[in-house]
Amino acid sequence: MQLFCHYSSISSDNKMNAANNSDNVDMSNTYNSLHGITQIIKNFNKINMKEIEPTAQNINENIFEEDLSIVVDELINLNFDDLNKGYDDNTRKQHFFDYIVNNGIILQEIYDWLLNNQYYPNSIYLLGYFNYHGIVTNINKQKAFELYQIAAELKSIVAQLDLSDMYIEVEKNYDKAFELSKMLAEIGNPNAMNKLGYCYDFGIGIDTNESKAFESYKKAADLGNTNGINNLAWCYENGLGTNVNKEKAFELYKKAAELGNVSGMNSLGCCYDIGSGTDVNKQKAFELYKEAANLGNNYAQYNLALIYEKGKEIKKDIAKAIYWHKKSAEQGHEYAKKHLNILLKN
């Protein structure tokens, strides 16, 4: 059985490109984690956590308008920071819930406050975020889209970035996605630069242009966006808009992984797995796949499942292989679905 080492860089429409190497390893290179977001706006008034502790502790007993207003602004600020660093959706949501739990806040009360205070960009956007992720309410991406549109018109950068995401993934309005990404990239937004690179990479709203894709990824990477770093590594590994440089790719994947980028962890695992830009180290590959898999990366989940299924470097464990294939398949990984069906039949 061949090992499918699935790279993950950015993903919007889960496009795959398979390639074979001399070790009979099939690499389906799929772009993952498009959800990187903007630099923190310099004039954004960051709230000191100490300012909200006294009210957050008793927020369910004595709610003041300013209390929840501060909480909403803090959650937006946290989202800005996480997205600016290129954290994936699962990590962002975890930080969101950590903040809620650590401050003893009741989500229903925030949600009710948001419903009654749809006058400000932050509250409008956050209500959209609740609808998008099904927090308190049911998942309603159409409602989220409408709220993001309103907040974006009120100049909310985070709303504009999430809106450009939805134009790609939900609305399939690629021209709008490109326009928004280009506009925000031109004002120095690192997430938009990374997203603009994706547009040039796959011809989203514009003709494909490998050189411009490389340039945009590099600009995002230089500003510390870990998705940009990961995607720049992809360019060096595959000669996209630049010369092939496996060693440079390995170093960039390593940097992205060390900065907490889950896709970078999986990609670094692939490098160790097949010896791309470094020596083969199956144990390190296994550890990286496992770390990224536990953080929700479906490509890492698939790679980990294959290791358990194959049973060479790690003791064969079909139960664990089924578990991880199922996890990956639930997120739409087509190869995982096929392997899961085969294992279940057997």
Instruction: Give the residue-averaged pLDDT of 285-296.
Output: 96
Is residue 230 within 8 Å of residue 299, measured between CB atoms? Answer: no
pLDDT of 46 > 70? The answer is no
**Higher local confidence (pLDDT), 56 or 22:** 56
Is residue 158 within 8 Å of residue 165, measured between CB atoms? Answer: no
Q: Residue 53: pLDDT band by 50, 70, 90 thresholds?
A: very low
**Higher local confidence (pLDDT), 65 or 168:** 168
Question: In the chain, what are the domain boundaries?
Answer: 245-345
Instruction: Give the residue-averaged pLDDT of 104-108.
Output: 91
**Residue in the structure block whose two tokens are 């997430």:** 191
pLDDT of 122 > 60? The answer is yes
The most confident of 57-71, 76-90, 288-302, by mean pLDDT:
288-302
Q: Residue 7: pLDDT band by 50, 70, 90 thresholds?
A: low
Distance CA(166)–CA(38), nearest Å, equals 16
Instruction: Give the residue-averaged pLDDT of 94-103.
Output: 93
Q: What is the pLDDT of residue 6?
A: 54
Is residue 318 within 8 Å of residue 305, measured between CB atoms? Answer: no
Q: What is the pLDDT of residue 57?
A: 39
Q: For the chain, what percent of residues have pLDDT higher than 70?
A: 81
Q: Residue 8: pLDDT band by 50, 70, 90 thresholds?
A: low
**Higher local confidence (pLDDT), 24 or 327:** 327
Q: What is the mean pLDDT of the chain?
A: 83
Q: For the chain, what percent of residues have pLDDT higher than 90?
A: 73
Determine which of 14-23, 230-239, 254-263, 315-324 has the lowest per-residue pLDDT on average: 14-23
CA angle at residue 308 from 304 to 313, to 5 degrees? Answer: 95
**Higher local confidence (pLDDT), 163 or 24:** 163
Residues facing 17 on adjacent strands: 29
End-to-end CA distance of the chain: 15
Q: For residue 6, what are the contacts with CB-CB under 8 A and spacing of at least 6?
A: 27, 28, 29, 30, 266, 270, 299, 302, 303, 333, 335
For 126-154, how does the pLDDT look when each residue is reduced to its tens digit (9 = 90+)?
999 999 999 999 999 999 999 999 999 99
Q: Residue 49: pLDDT band by 50, 70, 90 thresholds?
A: very low
pLDDT of 30 > 80? The answer is no
For 195-220, how does the pLDDT look when each residue is reduced to its tens digit (9 = 90+)?
999 999 999 999 999 999 999 999 99
pLDDT of 323 > 50? The answer is yes
pLDDT of 62 > 50? The answer is no
Angle subtended by helix axes 65-85 and 107-116, to nearest 10: 100
Instruction: For 187-206, give the DSSP string.
Output: TT-HHHHHHHHHHHHHTSSS
Instruction: Give the residue-averaged pLDDT of 229-250.
Output: 98
Q: What is the pLDDT of residue 13?
A: 32
pTM for this structure? Answer: 0.80
Distance CA(298)–CA(160), nearest Å, equals 27
Question: Taking the domain 245-345, which CATH number applies?
Answer: 1.25.40.10
Beta strand spans in 74-212 (E): none
Q: What is the pLDDT of residue 90?
A: 85
